[in-house]
Amino acid sequence: ANINILVQSIADNAESIKMQNKGVENIHNSINALQQDVQDNLTIANHSLQVSAKIDGISQDILEDVSKKKF
């Protein structure tokens, strides 16, 4: 009887470990997906910064041209 209880306890522990392992795997996958999203957002932010810098340059050129014109 004690052996059966021990065997059942070992089986229960093995199942718990499998479930915990699956949970850790899910967390790992979520972290990887989040890291990819952060990298994608960084790429978009850098591109937006470049576009903003170009727009600023164009705006400065327009201001210079307007200041040279007489109305």
Token pair for 34: 């989040």
Q: Comparing 70 with 22, which gets the higher pLDDT?
A: 22
- What's the pLDDT score for residue 1? 84
pLDDT for the residue 9: 96
Total domains in the chain come to: 1
For residue 21, the 8-state DSSP code is H
For residue 56, pLDDT beyond 90 = yes
CB 56: neighbour CB atoms within 10 A? 10
Write out the residue range of the structural domain in which residue 34 sits.
1-71
* pLDDT tens digits for range 19-47: 999 999 999 999 999 999 999 999 999 99
Q: Where does the pLDDT of residue 70 fall: very low under 50, low under 70, confident under 90, or very high at 90 and above?
A: confident
